[in-house]
Amino acid sequence: MALTSFNIAIVAFVALGSYTYAYAYAIFATTIGQAGFYTSFGLDPTSEYTASVIGAMSALFALGAGIGAILQGWTGDYLGRKKSFIMGLIVSLIGGALVAGSVNVPMFIVFRFVQGIGLGQCFAMSPLYISEVAPPRRRGLLTGLTASGLVSGYVTSAWVGYAAYFAKNVSVQWRLPLAISCLAPLVLLCGIYWMPESPRFLALVNRNEEAWAIIKKIHHDPTDVDDVAAHAEYTQICKQVELDKETEGGYIAMFSKPSWRKRSLLAVFIMFATQSTGCLGITTFQVIIYSSLGLKGPMPLLMYGVYVTVAAFFNFCGAASVDKIGRRRQLLIGYPLISVVLLINAILQKTYVGTTSTGGNAACVLFIFLFISVYSFFIDPPQFVFVSEIFPTNIRAKGIGLAFAAYFLGAITYTAPAAVAFKNIGWKMYMVWFAVSIVSSVLIYFFIPETKGLALEEIGELFGDKVVVHMTSDGRGIVEKGEGMIIDNEKEVSDNGLHVETSN
């Protein structure tokens, strides 16, 4: 099945949802590195009270994002993927504007929470929508762009924050970067008119003719003038959705039906496990970490900019490799490797933080960069791909919402205490992340299946669900499997050239 320019365009557009979230989240990391932020709110940057306030600001944003992700699970099914996306963009735009205009700490915290709700909805919608419009053999690459959009947001925020450091006006230093978080939602709202609804959602609500029109448009292959491959995909989607709808797709069913329960628990585990590597704790408090290593002035902000730029490079490489390496294998390499890097980070920081050893502090910085390189290539892209593809269409929005809620719960768990923890226990935080990552490695080995190359409608078989239609190896036909039948006896060819294999 061809990867069309239109398919690439809408995927890149929707990936801005994760970019929007990432910029707004990560700009906080540079905000707390600006002297003007502390003077505007009358905070002492060296006090434990200020560290607690910063932790609360970060945690409540993540809490709001978690609520937004769960909300997306409902709105995505009842309003549609597109309208749910619009709702999240509007809420994030309002919240972002009021955060930038905050006049005191309570106002900042409240509207940071509101902004989080909208952005959590947008972020969760990105892999959901992309997975539903991507061709099977390119789904890893395209859905992995969620992670690439995420890290691109981090890169933008880092360099905007670094540039703002040199502003003469101390208020501009931190307000302007926060206000820029409104630009991406505005761009998305202006362009969303051209974004088609998800064909799988349309099939779910019995709008099959519209679903066919969109599939034909996004997956049209000039060498396939009769759109045989697109029609095979359309037929598979409609037949599998019809079967899946026989079971009510609510949250109770997600945990009462064994195959759905397994998927739900694995999705929650994968997303929480990624946060348990320390990725957000280390990224959010980069400025504090570099300051503890003796870097002064604009250098912590500069190093943060370099850090996320390195992350972006490895993230794009990782996304491009998901369909070749496989989701399971990429994670199985990543978690043991990052455990080793975390352990070495702990040893180095225990030994050298607070000392004047240039070589020792340089080694600390080097292994922080090695950490993000491993995480960005092996862990970040496959997590979004895996959780977005393991659910059937009738619970995919809710399943992804649940997974992202776990992602944000992990963010709260590790970022809320991180500012105080880095201040009080320092290197021991790395030992916590090391231990949890070792456990994650074992669980991935025993429980995570490989989903590479399968159509979304065929992945249910890995979890024990019935799959009524399989795609043929050339992607131009379907194989219908009846109860108790063995595939592959009789072949028919329909008027439009679609191969239909049935079993007798």
pLDDT digits (tens, 9 = 90+) for 102-116: 999 999 999 999 999
For residue 475, pLDDT beyond 70: no
Q: Looking at residue 372, what DSSP letter applies?
A: H
In degrees and rounded to multiples of 5, residue 130 shows phi and psi of -60, -45
* 10 to 49, 142, 220: CA distances (angstroms): 45, 10, 14
Concatenated DSSP letters of 227-266: -HHHHHHHHHHHHHHHHHTTS--SHHHHHHSHHHHHHHHH
The reported pTM is 0.86
Tokens of 459: 């992945």
80 domain residue, yes or no? yes
**What interhelical angle do 139-164 and 380-389 show, nearest 10?**
130
Is residue 493, in this structure, part of any structural domain at all? Answer: no
Domain membership of residue 440 (yes or no) is yes
CA distance 386 to 328: 9
Confidence of residue 420 (pLDDT cuts 50, 70, 90): low
Q: Quick check: is 481 in a domain?
A: no
- C-alpha closest to that of 161 among 181, 139, 147, 136: 181
Q: What's phi and psi for 497, nearest 5 deg?
A: 90, 0
Q: Which residue has the tokens 């180095």?
A: 348
Q: How many CB atoms lie within 10 A of CB 296?
A: 8
3-state secondary structure of 169: coil
Residue 102 lies in a domain: yes
What is the rounded CA–CA span in Å between residue 245 and residue 229?
24
- The closest alpha carbon to 304, from 21, 18, 25, 26, belongs to 26
2: three-class secondary structure by DSSP:
coil
Calpha distance 256→45 (Å, rounded): 49
Question: Could you read off the pLDDT of 171-198 as tens digits, one per residue?
Answer: 899 999 999 999 999 999 999 989 999 9
CATH code for the domain of 344: 1.20.1250.20
Q: Which of 380, 212, 396, 232 is nearest to 312 (CA)?
A: 380
More confident residue, 55 or 380: 380
Task: Identify the helix (H) or strand (E) that includes residue 469.
Answer: strand 469-471
Average predicted confidence (pLDDT) for the chain? 87
Residue 499 has pLDDT above 90, yes or no: no
Query: What is the rounded average pLDDT of the residues 267-273?
Result: 96
Residue 484 lies in a domain: no
Residue 219: CB atoms within 10 Å: 25
Which of 119, 112, 114 lies closest to 174 in space, CA to CA?
Answer: 112
- Write out pLDDT tens, residues 11-28: 999 999 999 999 998 898
Angle subtended at Cα 65 by Cα 64 and Cα 68, rounded to the nearest 5 degrees: 90
Which residue has 């008119």 as its token pair?
Answer: 193
| Contacting residues for 336 by C-beta, under 8 A, at least 6 apart | 438, 441
Q: Per residue in 325-343, pLDDT tens?
A: 999 999 999 999 999 999 9
**Rounded Cα–Cα distance for residues 477 and 162 (Å):** 54
Provide the terminal-to-terminal Cα distance of the chain, rounded to the nearest Å: 28
Confidence (pLDDT) at 496: 44
Is the pLDDT reported for residue 486 higher than 60? no
Question: How far apart are alpha carbons 82 and 453 in whole angstroms?
Answer: 26
Rg of the Cα trace of the chain?
Answer: 23
Does residue 333 sit in helix, strand or coil? Answer: helix
Domain region containing 427: 5-198+231-458
Distance CA 75, CA 323 (A): 30
136 in any annotated domain: yes
Burial of 437 (0-12, 13-18, 19+ CB in 10 A): buried
CA distance 54 to 76: 32
pLDDT computed for residue 220 by the predictor: 81
Report the pLDDT value the prediction gives residue 474, as an integer from 0 to 100: 66
Task: Please determine, for residue 472, whether its predicted confidence score (pLDDT) is greater than 80.
Answer: no
Domain total in the chain: 1
Inside any domain, residue 217: no
* Cα→Cα distances 4→8, 195, 455, 469, Å: 6, 15, 17, 24
Share of residues in the chain with pLDDT > 70 (%): 90
Helix orientation angle between 81-100 and 16-31, rounded to the nearest 10 degrees = 20
Q: Is 32 helix (H, G, I), strand (E, B) or coil?
A: coil
150-173 pLDDT, tens digit per residue, is 989 989 998 898 899 888 898 899
> How far is Cα 69 from Cα 399, in angstroms, rounded to an integer?
10
* Residue 355: burial class (beta carbons within 10 Å; 0-12, 13-18, 19+): exposed
Q: State which H helix or E strand residue 26 sits in.
A: helix 16-31
Average pLDDT over every residue of 68-73: 94
